[in-house]
A and B are shown apart, each in its own frame.
Chain A
Amino acid sequence: MGNRITIPFGSQHVALPEPIRFVFQTENEKIVDVEVDVGYVHRGIEKACMTKFKYTQVGYVVARVCGLCAISHTLGYVTAVERLMEIEVPKKALYLRLLVSELDRVHSHLLAMGHLAEVAGYENLFMHTFRDRELVMELQELVTGNRIQFDYATVGGVNRDLSLEVERELREKLKDLQERCLWLKDVFENDYTIKLRWKGIGVITPEMARELNVVGPPARASGLATDARNEFNYLPFKEVGYKLITMKDGDIYARNMVRAEETLNSLEMIFNLLDGMPEGDIKVPVKGLPEGEAFVRIEAPRGELFYYLKGSKKLILDRLRIKVPTFSNIPVMKELFIGMDYADVPATVISFDPCLSCTAR
Chain B
Amino acid sequence: MNLKKYRTKSPWILHYNTGSCNGCDVEILACLAPKYDIERFGILNRGNPKQSDILLVTGPVTKRARERLIRLYMEMPEPKVVVAVGVCACTGGVFRGMYNVENGVDKFIPVDVYVPGCAARPENIIDGVVRALEILEKKKKDLQLTRKCTGTEELEYLLGKQLNRRKIVAEGTRRCYESRRD
State the A residues within 8 Å of B (CB). 11-14, 17-19, 39-45, 47-48, 52, 60-61, 64-68, 70, 111, 127, 130-131, 133-134, 137, 146-149, 355, 357
Q: Evaluate contact between A149 and B100: CB separation under 8 angstroms.
A: no
Ordered by A's residue number, 6 sampled pairs between the chains whose C-beta atoms are within 8 Å are A11-B68, A12-B68, A40-B65, A67-B20, A67-B25, A134-B33
Q: Evaluate contact between A44 and B99: CB separation under 8 angstroms.
A: yes
Residues A131 and B72 in contact in the complex (CB < 8 Å), given A17-B25, A48-B98, A67-B21: no
| Closest Cβ neighbor of B101 among chain A residues | A43
Q: Which of B18, B26, B95 contacts A17 (CB 8 A)?
A: B26
| Closest Cβ neighbor of B22 among chain A residues | A67
Q: Evaluate contact between A130 and B30: CB separation under 8 angstroms.
A: yes
Residues A131 and B34 in contact in the complex (CB < 8 Å), given A12-B72, A40-B62, A41-B62: yes
CB distance from A59 to the nearest CB of B (A): 12
Q: Which of A11, A41, A61, A67 contacts B23 (CB 8 A)?
A: A67
Q: For chain B, residues 91 to 116, give those with C-beta under 8 angstroms from any C-beta of chain A.
A: 93-95, 97-101
CB distance from A53 to the nearest CB of B (A): 9
Query: Given the complex, which residues of B lie within 8 Å of A65, measured CB to CB?
Result: 21
Q: Evaluate contact between B26 and A68: CB separation under 8 angstroms.
A: yes
The distance in angstroms between the C-alpha atoms of A137 and B18, with both chains bound, is: 25
Q: Evaluate contact between A130 and B17: CB separation under 8 angstroms.
A: no
Q: Evaluate contact between B21 and A64: CB separation under 8 angstroms.
A: yes
CB distance from B162 to the nearest CB of A (A): 57
Q: Which of A12, A13, A14, A43 contacts B60 (CB 8 A)?
A: A43
The yes or no answer to B80 lying at the interface (CB within 8 A) is: no
CB distance from B71 to the nearest CB of A (A): 9
The yes or no answer to B138 lying at the interface (CB within 8 A) is: no
Q: Evaluate contact between A43 and B95: CB separation under 8 angstroms.
A: yes
Q: For chain B, residues 13 to 59, give those with C-beta under 8 angstroms from any C-beta of chain A.
A: 15-30, 32-35, 46-47, 59
Residues A43 and B100 in contact in the complex (CB < 8 Å), given A17-B22, A148-B23: yes
| Closest Cβ neighbor of A146 among chain B residues | B119
Q: Evaluate contact between B119 and A148: CB separation under 8 angstroms.
A: yes
Q: Which of B29, B65, B119 contacts A19 (CB 8 A)?
A: B65
CB distance from B146 to the nearest CB of A (A): 30
Query: Given the complex, which residues of A lie within 8 Å of B68, measured CB to CB?
Result: 11-12, 19, 40
Q: Evaluate contact between B101 and A127: CB separation under 8 angstroms.
A: no
The distance in angstroms between the C-alpha atoms of A43 and B59, with both chains bound, is: 10
The distance in angstroms between the C-alpha atoms of A42 and B61, with both chains bound, is: 10
Q: Evaluate contact between B98 and A64: CB separation under 8 angstroms.
A: no
Query: Given the complex, which residues of B lie within 8 Å of A146, measured CB to CB?
Result: 119
